[in-house]
Amino acid sequence: MDIRLDATPIEQYPADVLVTLAFENQQGPHPLNAAAGGWFDDLRESREFTGKLFEVAILHRPSGLKAKRLAVVGAGPVEKFNATELRKVVGSAVRALKAKSLTNITLSLENATSEQITAAVEGAILADYEPDRLKTDAKKGEKRLAAFCILGPATLQPALDHGRTLGEAQNFTRDLVNEPANLMTPLKLASEAQLMAATFGLDCEILDRERMTQLGMGSLLGVSQGSAEPPAMIILRYTPAAASTADHLALIGKGVTFDTGGVSIKPSDGMEKMKYDMAGGAAVIGAMRAIAQFKPQVTITALIPAVENMVSSRAQRPGDIVTSLSGKTIEVLNTDAEGRLILVDAITYALRLGCTHMVDAATLTGAIGVALGHIHVGAFTNNEPFLGKVMSAAKSEGERMWHMPLDDDYKDYLKSAFADLPNIGGRYGGAVTAAMFLKQFTEDKPWVHLDIAGTAWLDEAKPFLSKGPSGVAVRTFVNLATNW
Ligand code: BES
Ligand code: ZN
Ligand code: ZN
C-alpha cells in the first residue's frame, strides 16, 4: 500500500476522496464548510449527520475543492477526542469507504501532532485488514486500500513511518492467528518466525522435541505428546548495538496452534475458534518484527512455546504427573489447562537465559472473558511497579488492560496430594488461579501476565476492525520495549 504525506494545501489537492473529521458538539462552522458550499451546515440541520462516532457522509464534486469527493467522519464529542479515538475514527472511515470501492483515500487533519499521524496511519492499516486470505474471489483486492495520503508537512514523516511499522506488525500477527490450524502448525509458526527474523535481522533458534527432552521440559512435552505435529520452542533474540541498561526483557507468548482440550475435550460448539490459541505467541512474534526495526536500547528475548493439544492414544491423561524444567512436579488434573503447562517451561528457560523481567501474553482462560468481557485484557503481576510500566505502555497505545488480583491466598486453591501442584484450581477465580500457577515459576523476578483470551478474537466486526484476530498486545509490547 502506498502511504505518504503531501504538503499541498487542502483546497488544491486532487484527492479521489478527501476525508475530514467533525465532532459531535463542534462549535462554529466546519473549516471546510465554505469550500463545500455550506454542506456541513446542511448536514447538521437535516440531522443526517451529527458527528457521532463513526458516522460517515459523502459529498461529490465539492465546489471549492479540487477533490472529487469530500467525506466527513464522525469523531464523537470533542472533549473525549485523543489519539486512541482518532485511530478508530480513521479506521471506521477507511472501512466505510473501501466497502464502496473507494480505495484511494486522503486524510486532512488540521495541525496534526506526531502522535496523531502515527495513530491515523495505524488506524488505516488495521482497518484495511481482512481475514480472507483463503477466499478465492478474484475481486477481493478491489476492496483493499490502494493509497493512503495524509495532508501535512514532510517533518511528520518519522511519525508516519512509525505508525506504518506498528500497523504492519500487528497485521502480521493477525495473519498468523487467522491461519487455520491445519496450515499453522507449531513447525509452520517456527518457520514464519525464522523468515521474519532473517528479513529483519533478528537471531532465531528453534528447540526441537529432542532438545527439549534433553533439557527436561516435561511439562511442555506432556501437552504435545498427543499430537502428530512436533512441538517447537521458538526463540527470537534482539541485541541492541549499545544497551543502555543491564536489564534483559523476556516476551513470552502461548503458542497452542490448536486446542481441542485433549482428553478433557472441549465441547464441539465453537471449537473451530481454538486456532486462535496461539494469539499470544503471534503477538510476541509481531512485536519482535517492529522491535527489530525500532532498535530500542534493551536486550530482548522472545520465547514462544508452540504445541498442538490433541486427543489420541498417546495423549496425556488426567492424573498424569509431569516434571517441569524447573524440577517442580505437576499433576495434570485437566488436559485443557494446557497453556500454563507450556508457559512454565518457557518461563523457567527465560530465567536460565538470564532474563531479568518477563511479560507473557496468553489466551489462557475462558474465565477472563467471564470476568472482563471482550473489552479489557486481564493483567496480573508479582511486581506492581513493573505492572505500572506495562499498563502505561498499554494506555498510550490504546490497549485496555485491567489490573487483576494475585494475592498469596489464591495459592490455597492450588493443592495436590500427589505432586507439587495441580494444573487447575477449583470452580472459582479461574483466571486468577491460572495466573497463580504461572507465578509459582517466576522465582520472584518481575513478571506480568496478560490474559488475552477475551480480547484476541472479535466475533463480530467493529466499524474500524474486521471480524477475527485483533492483534492485541503487539503495540503494548513494542511501546514497552521502545520506552524501556
Ligand atoms: N485456550 C483455552 C482458553 C480459552 C477459552 C481461550 C476461550 C479462548 C477462548 C485454555 O487452554 C483452556 O481451555 N482453559 C480452560 C481452563 C480450565 C480447564 C481450568 C478454560 O478456560 O476453560
Ligand atoms: Zn485448553
Ligand atoms: Zn488453550
Length of the chain: 484
Residue 348 CA to ligand 1 center (angstroms) comes to 22
Ligand 1 pocket: which of 273, 365, 450, 458 to mutate (most atoms within 8 A of CB) = 365
Output the CA torsion 267→273→279→280 (10° steps).
Answer: -20
Residue 431 CA to ligand 1 center (angstroms) comes to 9
Residue 450 CA to ligand 1 center (angstroms) comes to 14
Query: pLDDT > 70: what percent of the chain?
Result: 100
Question: Do 350 and 358 contact (CB within 8 A), yes or no?
Answer: yes
CA atoms of 191 and 193, how far apart (whole Å):
5
Closest-lying ligand 1 atom to the alpha carbon of residue 339: 11
**Which residue out of 88, 174, 340, 475 is catalytically annotated?**
340
Domain 179-482 architecture = 3-Layer(aba) Sandwich (3.40)
CA atoms of 176 and 133, how far apart (whole Å):
11
The residues lining ligand 1, judged by C-beta closer than 6 Å to any ligand atom, are 259, 277, 334, 336-339, 363, 365-367, 424, 430, 453
Residue 322 CA to ligand 3 center (angstroms) comes to 18
CA atoms of 241 and 89, how far apart (whole Å):
38
Q: Which ligand is nearest to the CA of 256?
A: 3
Over range 227-235, report the average pLDDT: 99
Q: What is the pLDDT of residue 337?
A: 98
H or E element at residue 176: helix 157-178
Count Cβ atoms below 10 Å from residue 137 Cβ, excluding itself: 9
Q: Which CATH number fits domain 2-150: 3.20.20.70, 2.40.50.140, 3.30.470.20, 3.40.220.10?
A: 3.40.220.10
Question: DSSP label at 134?
Answer: T
Residue having the nearest C-alpha atom to atom 3 of ligand 1: 365
Which of helix, strand or coil describes residue 378? strand
Average pLDDT for the chain: 98
Question: DSSP label at 462?
Answer: B
Closest-lying ligand 1 atom to the alpha carbon of residue 261: 13
Residue having the nearest C-alpha atom to atom 16 of ligand 1: 337
44-48, 273-277, 338-342: lowest mean pLDDT where?
44-48
For the cut 90, the answer to whether the pLDDT of residue 175 exceeds it is yes
For the chain, which residues make up each domain, given as ranges?
Answer: 2-150, 179-482
For the cut 90, the answer to whether the pLDDT of residue 354 exceeds it is yes
**Which residue out of 68, 266, 273, 395 is catalytically annotated?**
266
Over range 18-36, report the average pLDDT: 94
CA atoms of 327 and 322, how far apart (whole Å):
10
Q: What is the pLDDT of residue 27?
A: 85
Residue 218: band (very low, low, confident or very high) from pLDDT cuts 50, 70, 90: very high
Residue 411 CA to ligand 1 center (angstroms) comes to 20
Residues 327, 418, 433, CA angle at the centre, nearest 5°?
75
Residues 6+ apart with CB under 8 A from 10: 18, 32, 65, 108, 151
Does pTM surpass 0.95? yes
Ligand 1 pocket: which of 257, 336, 338 to mutate (most atoms within 8 A of CB) = 336
Based on the residue annotation, tell me whether 266 is a catalytic residue of this protein: yes
Q: What is the pLDDT of residue 138?
A: 84
Residues 6+ apart with CB under 8 A from 72: 19, 20, 21, 22, 30, 40, 43, 49, 56, 57, 59
End-to-end CA distance of the chain: 31
Q: What is the pLDDT of residue 114?
A: 98
Over range 250-254, report the average pLDDT: 99
| 315-to-56, 228, 263, 312 alpha-carbon distances in Å | 53, 10, 7, 5
Closest-lying ligand 1 atom to the alpha carbon of residue 309: 11
Structure confidence by residue, pLDDT tens digits, 116-170: 999 999 999 999 999 999 999 988 888 899 999 999 999 999 999 999 999 999 9
